[in-house]
Amino acid sequence: MTLLHIAIISPFLMAFLVPFFYKYIRNIHTGWFVLILPVFLFIYLTQFIEMTMNGDTVISVARWIPSLGIDFTAYIDGLGLLFALLITGIGALVVLYSIYYLSKDKEQLNTFYVYLLMFMGAMLGVVLSDNMIVLYTFWEFTSLSSFLLIGYWYNREKSRYGAQKSMLITVFGGLAMLGGFVLLYLMTGTFSIRETIEHVPFIIESSLFIPALLLILLGAFTKSAQFPFYIWLPDAMEAPTPVSAYLHSATMVKAGIYLVARFSPVFAITAEWFWIVSLFGIFTLFWGSFNAVKQTDLKAILAFSTVSQLGMIMAMLGVGAAALHFEDYEYYTVATAAAIFHLINHATFKGSLFMVAGIVDHETGTRDIRKLGGLMSFMPITFSIAIIGTFAMAGLPPFNGFLSKEMFFSAMIRVTEMDLFNTDTWGMLLPVLAWVGSIFTFIYSMVLVFKTFTGKYKPEKLEKKPHEAPIGMLISPIILASLAVVIFFFPNIIAQSLIEPAMASILPSLLSEGEHFHAHISYWHGWNLELFMTIGVIVLGTLGYFTLTKWSGIYELQPKKLTLNRVYDCSLIGLDRGSYQLTRFYMTGYIRDYLIYIFAFLIAIVGTTMAINNAFVFNTDHLAQIGIYEVIIALVMVIATVTTLLSKSRLTAIIALGTVGYSLSLFFVLFRAPDLALTQLVIETISVALFLLCFYHLPELKNKEKKLRFRLANLIISLGVGTIVTLIAISANSQRVSDTIASFFIENTYKLGGGKNMVNVILVDFRGFDTMFEITVLGIAALGIYGMIKLQTAKEEKN
């Protein structure tokens, strides 16, 4: 295992140590110990920047299950490194923020940081894994750890509801994604993403290509909150603000974006990928921004804002796929560059805004904008951070969001200029929805900052007297807000170091050996259409903000019963009721019914399989002749069995059942197996004796009251199982493909086991562990029975 593997699993190791820190060092906030790890990991990962800028990659393989092609292959390229830096960099700032946000006296900090570290490690595993099965393992671990983080305040009903909702939706998508990975494996014979990309010409020709594409996109859309799966994200805002700032600005929701970017080299060549990713993304942008305007909770506004911004990035990744179809690809790679650029920008301004929302809630006791207002004079630093974050989110200069938004507009405009995938007609939807969605983005950005910090101060509606947050809580959002300004003036620093290497990972087929993408970003392109679209956004957005009360009634037009949340809730209720009814149907409480289910499925599945594969073979070449003794004993066993079933006397049934067992021991004698015969005789004698001891406690046999239907079902099931098992035994004995293991035991019993009794040597030596475990099980059962007897005896004595 290499240092890179250790870096990935180090958050899990730290999570293991956190409870010990918490237990023995209570006078220091646990976050100070946790902070060391993301800072160290961020510094460690920065050493790979120069390498990825040169087009190189790092691959480290740790063997896991090589027989199945599953290895823990850590892989760093431009795309993986970008996400890893976001995960560790934003993670460090979030941990620093949480130290001042979460009180060590009121919160279970050990639990919080264990969950947070688990999530950090899972995200690093997702973005730095080359093997799809390993990626899926970490992917589902993000769902599990985010479930724990969102439900951290488990005593709140809304927290539990939001945690369950996020987990059900994202795990559903993860299972679909796993199905897509399996289909890719069937097409390529490998779980390696790098090797899968090399098989693209063969994958496209496969009939499994489209199903794999749809399943993987389903996993990406659920995780990145695309329409219609976005409904989990607003409810996830019940988590503590540090969790929201981490999961929903830079990490968990970006996992779906990462998946689409990572598999673009495999699927992006097709029209299906282009249209599905682009249209779902652009509609999510519009729908999220449209619904953000009507929210009254700061974190709810940011939640729908996140949905919108994720849709924007997703749409750009979809449009960027068109570059694969043109020789003049540089003209069309602007969409991919814009997607990566906005990915970084979104992490900066959205992370700072989530922290601002947490500060407002922490210092005033509410996040409801209807109760807030006039906080600018009380919280000037927080207000300044909010201005930078919201203006960057709205796409205004001089902030980084303006640059990526202009590139976004450019990408959407160029769609209409392409002679590809019918973009000359339906492609008009993309720039139109992009522009309309940006107008609503401007409006909710203004609502977020001005409804909170300007206007009338309402002290009577606040739980606390507002004041500026402590400097420790301000450091992280100040850093993020500063980056939003610095990136605007010096965008090409990250263009060369982060954006270009990530583009090379997403669109590798466009580059010849030794070539590099050139993503030059500038904040002035002249008086072009993109700039006029921005001016239109500002003018109409300002007008919409000031007239909000006059047109906000449109939100009441949508029937409350026709919402995706209601569909989700009704689905859960339906599943709950349906499962209850189904469970009541088959969980009758009678072992007889359960045996019927088991045996019926055995008959159906095994019988059908044998029939389809013509598996039944009857060959008597190697069988011994059947003598008169075997025939007589077999007849006796059949007669005794039928007597047991039809007997009306308990004593007769016990004797007949004993006859079956003793007759079987005679078979062992005839077949020269004295050990088995002796064992069978002992067991049968004990069984009959026990039955006789319990004679008076056995139930009366009331065959007359049994319904004919019940007896007929028993007869059919019994005959079916007997027939199937007999056919399997005959077929297995009739078509042996290799020598039996008996010859091995005959040759090696004395040589290897040192004994002449073959059965004893097999039991003690060849399968000694099996025998030991059987003895252990019997010993545990005996102790359990003894314990129950003692408890019952003690209870009777007490009474």
Asked, for residue 709, whether it belongs to a domain, the answer is yes
Indicate which CATH number applies to the domain containing 679.
Answer: 1.20.120
Considering the domain architecture, whether residues 303 and 405 belong to the same structural domain is answered as yes
Residue 705 has pLDDT above 60, yes or no: no
Considering the domain architecture, whether residues 399 and 427 belong to the same structural domain is answered as yes
The domain tally of the chain equals: 4
- Averaged pLDDT, 475-482: 96
Considering the domain architecture, whether residues 626 and 480 belong to the same structural domain is answered as no
Among candidate residues 114, 138, 282, the one with its CA nearest the CA of residue 223: 138
pLDDT confidence of 117, banded at 50, 70, 90? very high
Q: Strand locations in 206-293, DSSP E?
A: none
- Averaged pLDDT, 473-485: 96
Q: What is the pLDDT of residue 795?
A: 67
Asked, for residue 41, whether it belongs to a domain, the answer is no
pLDDT confidence of 41, banded at 50, 70, 90? very high
**pLDDT, tens digit, for every residue of 710-764?**
677 888 888 999 999 999 988 887 877 777 777 888 888 888 888 888 878 888 8
- Averaged pLDDT, 700-709: 56
Considering the domain architecture, whether residues 536 and 395 belong to the same structural domain is answered as yes
Distances (CA, A) of 645 to 210, 604, 686: 57, 25, 21
Considering the domain architecture, whether residues 514 and 533 belong to the same structural domain is answered as yes
Asked, for residue 165, whether it belongs to a domain, the answer is no
Considering the domain architecture, whether residues 562 and 481 belong to the same structural domain is answered as no
Per DSSP, the three-state class of 65 is: strand
Tokens of 177: 């994604």
Asked, for residue 105, whether it belongs to a domain, the answer is no
Considering the domain architecture, whether residues 374 and 509 belong to the same structural domain is answered as yes
Q: What is the pLDDT of residue 329?
A: 67
* Interatomic CA distance for residues 517 and 499, integer angstroms: 9
**pLDDT, tens digit, for every residue of 566-625?**
999 999 999 999 999 999 888 888 888 899 899 999 999 999 998 898 888 887 777 777
Considering the domain architecture, whether residues 606 and 701 belong to the same structural domain is answered as yes
**pLDDT, tens digit, for every residue of 355-391?**
999 999 999 999 999 999 999 999 999 999 999 999 9
State the residue range of the domain holding 696: 591-740
**pLDDT, tens digit, for every residue of 519-537?**
888 877 778 899 999 999 9
Of 690, 722, 740, which residue constitutes the final position of a domain?
Answer: 740
Amino acid identity for residue 112 in this structure: F
**pLDDT, tens digit, for every residue of 326-352?**
655 666 688 999 999 999 999 999 999
Of 698, 718, 740, which residue constitutes the final position of a domain?
Answer: 740
- Rounded to the nearest integer, the mean pLDDT of the chain is 89
Tokens of 570: 């009704």
* Predicted TM-score (pTM) of this structure: 0.82
Considering the domain architecture, whether residues 460 and 531 belong to the same structural domain is answered as yes
What percentage of the chain has pLDDT greater than the value 90?
A: 61
Q: What is the pLDDT of residue 731?
A: 87
Q: What is the pLDDT of residue 792?
A: 72
* Interatomic CA distance for residues 250 and 478, integer angstroms: 17
Asked, for residue 191, whether it belongs to a domain, the answer is no
**Percentages helix, strand, coil for the chain, rounded to the nearest 5?**
75, 5, 25
265 preceded by cis ω (within 30°)?
no
Residue 703 has pLDDT above 60, yes or no: no
Asked, for residue 303, whether it belongs to a domain, the answer is yes
Of 587, 604, 638, which residue constitutes the final position of a domain?
Answer: 587
Considering the domain architecture, whether residues 493 and 472 belong to the same structural domain is answered as yes
Asked, for residue 453, whether it belongs to a domain, the answer is yes
Considering the domain architecture, whether residues 615 and 691 belong to the same structural domain is answered as yes
* Interatomic CA distance for residues 385 and 37, integer angstroms: 27
Tokens of 404: 């990526």
- DSSP alpha helix (H) spans, 47-77: 49-53
Residue that wins the pLDDT comparison between 410 and 704: 410
* Interatomic CA distance for residues 614 and 40, integer angstroms: 63
Considering the domain architecture, whether residues 627 and 527 belong to the same structural domain is answered as no
Q: What is the pLDDT of residue 425?
A: 73
Asked, for residue 324, whether it belongs to a domain, the answer is yes
